[in-house]
């Protein structure tokens, strides 16, 4: 097995994501976590960019141990002096200097001839080498550079003291086979290449950053540059977690390993997302919310029989022990039954069938049926002894409308209905129930809360209603909070009815 080094640039290229600006404290927090994750090199920032970045890089170099801390510098004396000042107290500092080598960049951006660029690269590496031994040189836009010219630049900087040569696909233009061939050609033509480490740094403009980096492993490179969650300039960089897990899961193909502590991946990903404010898309490989979630009945059935049917890695390997089976409208009986058993809720066949049909109705109304929802479905079943049940509910309310509700109930096989106005739609619905049944409940307590998190959470209403001298409580749950309120009120009425505290007058039978 070959050992591939992981050079993390979350705090430098990752921070170049539009809209992201980390302060020194936040950078330090991420750097400590990257240390725990086991990255080999941590690029802490670009010290010349701002006093804040300088301070962040300096604190990281001072405080984060057991990892090499790198700082970026353009190929000029001012940047290199500044980078060195920031990392000089590090345990194992690396100056990372760069200059573009493609015809487009040299001509339009740098406005320099290839000879001038070659000279500037060599001078920069020489100056950096006078400060510290570990020097990385990057040829920006390498993948659009001329092979012979690039090999000449690399041969020159190796002679000047570079220890790592980085061959970036700066604009994410390369394709895997072409990139691997390009890297092989560079390695073949660069004098002294056997003395240094070769690195790649791939951008994701065509969604190929990870594929190109893995192709580079095949071509024999030693170091992969990447960022947590794939953040970075434009479409971002190769995602650390995807590279590491691809190498780990397909060792048979790549025959290479990293020093990454995979069980720290999820924690690192969440920290980076929280501090940068860059949300992780749900279907993002490895760290997305859905990466280990199985929603379809056939998949869930397969998973329950043997996880290897649909899972190529265990979520625990990246430090996640989330429930991997998501119950929703595509779930089947096996998965629902299994979750109930896991929750200690054993139902006989007929109760299960009845619950399963209500589960499907609920799943049609919300994306995910959670554990709290399942408990609530089971509880509702216990209340099936209710004599008065909700048939339908219709409410109209708004800023310029008098809130009105029409409620239809079932009682002893009869359908009863009436309408009422109220202070609000809930009040109107409660009054309509009283009108239908001839009861006179006085609401003494009402509370509404989400059953669990998420924008599609069900509303849970608890009420306490006074009927004469007696107080009785009720609870209702629904994705519609007015319906939840009505169900809560009706439960209270049913309880009062069973105890003989109210009498029903069936004036409104239809
Ligand atoms: C591919 C990459 O990700 S490279 C890293 C990109 N990251 C950043 O740029 C983030 C931080 N950058 C900054 O804060 C600023 O751009 C600074 C502080 C670096 C420079 O700011 P300024 O001095 O105002 O220059 P500005 O950014 O406008 O222009 C860049 C200058 O650097 C030159 N330059 C660009 N790359 C290099 C290089 N590798 N080596 C030497 N000079 C370079 C450009 O030709 C231009 O020079 P000019 O002013 O003579 O035309
Ligand atoms: C500075 C270099 C390595 C870079 O970020 C790039 O080329 O994309
Ligand atoms: Mg980059």
> What crossing angle do the helices spanning 240-249 and 209-219 adopt, rounded to 10°?
50
Ligand 2 and 201: CB distance under 6 A:
yes
Six-digit token string for 154: 């690399």
Mind listing the pLDDT tens digit for each residue in 15-44? 999 878 888 888 999 999 999 999 999 999
Please compute the mean of the pLDDT values over residues 205-220 and round it to a whole number.
98
State the pLDDT confidence band at 365, using cuts at 50, 70 and 90. confident
pLDDT at 471 over 90: no
pLDDT at 361 over 70: yes
Of 18, 46, 101, the one to substitute when testing ligand 1's pocket (max ligand atoms within 8 A of C-beta) is 46
∠ CA 240-243-249, nearest 5°, is 130
pLDDT for position 374: 84
377 and 484 share one domain: no
Q: Is residue 129 part of a domain?
A: yes
Q: Is residue 292 part of a domain?
A: no
pLDDT for position 65: 93
pLDDT at 323 over 80: no
What CA–CA distance (Å, rounded) separates 225 from 223?
7
- Most confident option among 5-14, 292-301, 455-464: 5-14
In terms of pLDDT, which residue wins out, 51 or 495?
51
> 381, 415, 432 — which closes off a domain?
381
pLDDT at 336 over 70: yes
On whether the CB atoms of residues 139 and 153 are closer than 8 A, the answer is yes
pLDDT for position 509: 56
> 381, 404, 424 — which closes off a domain?
381
> 329, 355, 381 — which closes off a domain?
381
Atom of ligand 1 minimally distant from the CA of 97: 39
Q: Is residue 377 part of a domain?
A: yes
116 and 224 share one domain: yes
- Answering whether pTM is above 0.90, one says no
Atom of ligand 2 minimally distant from the CA of 12: 5
361 and 456 share one domain: no
Q: Is residue 230 part of a domain?
A: yes
Percentage above 90 pLDDT, the chain: 70
**Does 427 show up as a binding residue in the annotation?**
no
Please compute the mean of the pLDDT values over residues 2-8 and round it to a whole number.
98
Domain coverage including residue 367: 297-313+320-381
**CATH assignment at residue 427:** 3.30.160.270
Please compute the mean of the pLDDT values over residues 307-322 and round it to a whole number.
87
256 and 306 share one domain: no
pLDDT for position 473: 77
Which range (111-125, 190-204, 319-333) has the least confidence? 319-333
**Does 248 show up as a binding residue in the annotation?**
no
Compute, in angstroms, the gap from residue 201 CA to the centroid of ligand 3: 7
In terms of pLDDT, which residue wins out, 252 or 450?
252
Mind listing the pLDDT tens digit for each residue in 51-62? 999 999 999 999
Which residue CA neighbors atom 13 of ligand 1 most closely? 49
Give the mean pLDDT of the chain. 92
377 and 391 share one domain: no
**CA-closest candidate to residue 76, choices 115, 137, 124, 118:** 124
pLDDT at 376 over 90: no
Q: Secondary structure of the chain: what % helix, strand, coil (to 5)?
A: 45, 20, 30
328 and 352 share one domain: yes
Please compute the mean of the pLDDT values over residues 186-208 and round it to a whole number.
98
pLDDT at 490 over 70: yes
**Does 96 show up as a binding residue in the annotation?**
no
Please compute the mean of the pLDDT values over residues 394-420 and round it to a whole number.
94
Mind listing the pLDDT tens digit for each residue in 216-228? 999 999 999 999 9
Atom of ligand 2 minimally distant from the CA of 16: 5
402 and 441 share one domain: yes
395 and 270 share one domain: no
210 and 227 share one domain: yes
Compute, in angstroms, the gap from residue 141 CA to the centroid of ligand 2: 8
268 and 396 share one domain: no
Compute, in angstroms, the gap from residue 216 CA to the centroid of ligand 3: 16
What CA–CA distance (Å, rounded) separates 267 from 319?
7
Q: How many domains does the chain have?
A: 3
Q: Is residue 503 part of a domain?
A: no
Strands of the sheet with 388-398, listed across from one edge: 388-398, 401-411, 414-421
pLDDT for position 426: 97
Q: Is residue 468 part of a domain?
A: yes
Q: Is residue 289 part of a domain?
A: no
Which range (76-85, 121-130, 469-478) has the least confidence? 469-478
Please compute the mean of the pLDDT values over residues 250-271 and round it to a whole number.
95
Atom of ligand 1 minimally distant from the CA of 140: 1
Of 7, 172, 201, the one to substitute when testing ligand 2's pocket (max ligand atoms within 8 A of C-beta) is 201
What are the Cα distances from residue 408, in Å, to 388, 418, 461?
10, 7, 20
User: Maximum Cα–Cα distance for the chain, whole Å?
Assistant: 100
Ligand 1 and 75: CB distance under 6 A:
yes
pLDDT for position 321: 67
pLDDT for position 100: 98
pLDDT at 136 over 70: yes
138 and 20 share one domain: yes
On whether the CB atoms of residues 27 and 45 are closer than 8 A, the answer is yes
207 and 222 share one domain: yes
Please compute the mean of the pLDDT values over residues 433-439 and round it to a whole number.
95
Q: Is residue 458 part of a domain?
A: yes
Buried b (16+ CB within 10 A) or exposed e, 275-292: bbebebeeebebbeeebb
Ligand 1 and 49: CB distance under 6 A:
yes
Ligand 1 and 74: CB distance under 6 A:
yes
Mind listing the pLDDT tens digit for each residue in 146-166? 999 999 999 999 999 999 999
Q: List, as one string, the DSSP characters of 364-391.
A: HHSS---HHHHHHHHHHHHGGG-SEEEE
Percentage above 70 pLDDT, the chain: 97
∠ CA 132-119-86, nearest 5°, is 30
Q: Which residue has the tokens 């109705």?
A: 361
* 23 three-class SS: coil
**Does 237 show up as a binding residue in the annotation?**
yes
pLDDT at 90 over 60: yes
């Amino acid at each position: 097995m070959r050992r591939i080094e992981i050079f993390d640039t979350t705090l430098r290229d990752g921070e170049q994501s539009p809209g992201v600006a980390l302060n020194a404290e936040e950078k330090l927090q991420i750097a400590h976590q990257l240390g725990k994750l086991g990255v080999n090199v941590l690029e802490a920032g670009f010290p010349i960019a701002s006093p804040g970045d300088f301070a962040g890089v300096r604190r990281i170099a001072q405080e984060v141990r057991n990892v090499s801390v790198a700082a970026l510098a353009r190929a000029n004396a001012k940047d290199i002096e500044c980078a060195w000042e920031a990392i000089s107290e590090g345990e194992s500092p690396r100056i990372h200097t760069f200059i573009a080598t493609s015809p487009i960049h040299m001509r339009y951006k740098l406005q320099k001839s290839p000879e001038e660029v070659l000279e500037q690269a060599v001078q920069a590496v020489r100056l950096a080498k006078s400060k510290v031994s570990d020097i990385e040189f990057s040829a920006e836009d390498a993948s659009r550079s001329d092979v012979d010219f690039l090999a000449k630049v690399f041969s020159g900087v190796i002679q000047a003291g570079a220890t790592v040569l980085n061959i970036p696909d700066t604009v994410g233009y390369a394709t895997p086979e072409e990139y691997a061939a390009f890297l092989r050609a560079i390695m073949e033509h660069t004098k002294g290449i056997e003395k240094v480490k070769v690195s790649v740094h791939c951008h994701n403009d065509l969604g190929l950053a990870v594929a190109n980096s893995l192709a580079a492993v095949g071509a024999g490179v030693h170091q992969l540059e990447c960022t947590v969650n794939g953040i970075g300039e434009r479409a971002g960089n190769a995602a650390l977690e995807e590279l590491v897990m691809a190498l780990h899961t397909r060792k048979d193909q790549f025959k290479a390993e990293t020093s990454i502590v995979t069980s720290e991946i999820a924690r690192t990903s969440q920290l980076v997302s929280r501090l940068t404010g860059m949300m992780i898309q749900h279907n993002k490989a490895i760290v997305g919310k859905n990466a280990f979630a199985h929603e379809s009945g056939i998949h869930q059935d397969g998973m329950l029989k043997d996880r290897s049917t649909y899972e190529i890695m265990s979520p625990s390997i990246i430090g996640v022990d989330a429930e991997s089976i998501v119950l929703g409208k595509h779930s089947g009986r096996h998965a629902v039954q299994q979750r109930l058993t896991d929750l200690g809720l054993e139902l006989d066949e007929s109760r299960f069938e009845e619950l399963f049909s209500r589960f499907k109705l609920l799943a049609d109304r919300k994306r995910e049926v959670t554990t709290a929802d399942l408990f609530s479905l089971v509880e509702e079943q216990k209340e099936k002894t209710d004599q008065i049940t909700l048939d339908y509910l219709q409410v109209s309310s708004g800023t310029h409308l008098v809130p009105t509700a029409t409620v239809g109930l079932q009682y002893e096989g009869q359908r009863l209905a009436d309408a009422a106005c109220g202070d609000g739609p809930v009040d109107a619905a409660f009054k309509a129930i009283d009108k239908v049944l001839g009861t006179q409940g006085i609401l003494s307590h009402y509370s509404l809360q989400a059953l669990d998190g998420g924008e599609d959470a069900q509303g849970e209403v608890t009420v306490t209603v006074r009927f004469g001298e007696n107080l009785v409580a009720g609870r209702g749950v629904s994705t519609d909070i007015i319906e939840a309120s009505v169900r809560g009120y009706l439960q209270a009425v049913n309880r009062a009815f069973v105890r003989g505290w109210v009498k029903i007058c069936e004036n409104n039978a239809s």
